Structure 1
Amino acid sequence: MRLILALLLPWLQFFTIGRPISGIICLVLQITVIGWIPATIWSVYALSQYRTDRKIAALKRS
């Protein structure tokens, strides 16, 4: 679900992973038509880093 959100509304995905400042910057980038593609790539990359960080944190707790 977050991946679909990252593709359609990249700025909103940043708010779901707890990075509101990045979400605002991404929104400004997404406002331009040319900036939509970099915003989407950045959002998908941030989502993959978020998942990796959660997996590492889970391993440390175990």
Structure 2
Amino acid sequence: MRLLLAIFLPWIQFFTIGRPVAGIICLFLQITLVGWLPAAIWSVYALGQYKTEKKIEKALASQKS
């Protein structure tokens, strides 16, 4: 679901992963027709980074236990 959101409404996706400042910047970028594609690419990349960070946190938490 977040991937579709990242492609079609990239600025909202930043708010769902806890990066509101990036979401506002992305909104301004998406407002321009030329900026929509870079905004979508940036959003998909940020979503991938977010998922990677969550996997690392989970692995470290299970390692400590």
Alignment match, 1:3 = 3
Who is 2:51 aligned against? Answer: 51
1:23 aligns with 2:23: yes
Which 5+ residue runs of structure 1 have no aligned equivalent?
none
TM superposition outliers: structure 1 runs of 4+ over 6 Å = none
| Structure number with larger C-alpha Rg | 2
> Where do 5+ consecutive residues of structure 2 fail to align?
none
Question: Which one-letter code corresponds to 2:24 in the other structure?
Answer: I
Q: CA RMSD in A?
A: 0.2
Distance (Å, rounded) in 2 between the aligned partners of 1:37 and 1:4: 14
Q: How high is the TM-score relative to the length of structure 1? A: 0.99
TM-score, normalised to structure 2's length? 0.95
Cα deviation, 1:19-40, whole Å, max 9, x if unaligned, reads 0000000000000000000000
